[in-house]
Amino acid sequence: MADDFILDTDDIQRRMDGAMSSLRSEFASLRTGRASASMLEPVMVDAYGSMTPINQVGTVNVPEPRMVTVNVWDKGLVSKVEKAIRESGLGINPQLNGTIIMLPIPELNEERRRELSKVAGSYAENARVSIRNIRRDAMDQIKKAKADGMSEDDQKIWEAEVQEMIDAQIKAVDGALTTKQEEIMQV
């Protein structure tokens, strides 16, 4: 009955990859003192009656290491794009030049670097929690199969496999956090 139990490890891996992908996009939105087009990805603009990603109303470029530009395609949206950037919480003061919005990236001071490092740490902890929730779901499936008659040996084998997958993913999260914190603290 439960001897034919097969845990969907592909689904577990897909869910963990989703948590990792989410972590990477959160890390990309953290400003490190260097200009990056990805830092504007979370910015949404109220365009044509709906919230639209900034990259769908203009071209985002990085012409210099400390400058991001947004070339807005519709002249009527320039003020809305500027407002969205101001209200995004990125701490950047946009400068208008016709339909081009220039975003000079200021140097980060030591206090702001530490603050961003803590934010990166909280993003990583959220990813770890997501991964632990995936482990809990998988372990619950194994326990249910055990209650349905799976042998204790099979239970141990499945639990060890799940734990191995989880440990590898947590290690990847820790590695990504270390890399991001080093990037943030770099002057």
pLDDT tens sequence across 101-129: 998 887 778 887 888 888 889 999 999 99
Compute CA distances 44 → 50, 62, 93, 184, whole Å. 9, 19, 16, 25
Compute CA distances 103 → 57, 76, 158, 175, whole Å. 16, 19, 52, 30
Predicted local distance difference test score (pLDDT) of residue 133: 95
Predicted local distance difference test score (pLDDT) of residue 14: 94
pLDDT tens sequence across 4-14: 678 888 999 99
Give yes or no on whether 9-27+109-185 and 34-104 have one common fold: no
Ordered per-residue pLDDT tens for the chain, 187 residues: 445 678 888 999 999 999 999 898 888 777 666 677 777 877 888 888 888 888 888 988 888 878 889 998 988 888 888 888 888 777 778 888 888 999 888 777 888 788 888 888 999 999 999 999 999 999 999 999 888 888 889 899 999 999 999 999 999 999 999 999 888 887 6
CATH of 34-104, one of 3.40.50.300, 3.30.1360.40, 3.40.710.10, 3.40.640.10: 3.30.1360.40
Output the CA angle 69-39-75, nearest 5 degrees: 35
Domain ranges for the chain: 9-27+109-185, 34-104
Predicted local distance difference test score (pLDDT) of residue 67: 87
CATH of 9-27+109-185, one of 1.10.40.30, 3.40.630.30, 1.20.970.10, 1.10.132.20: 1.10.132.20
Contact assessment for residue 58 and residue 147, using Cβ atoms and an 8 Å cutoff: no
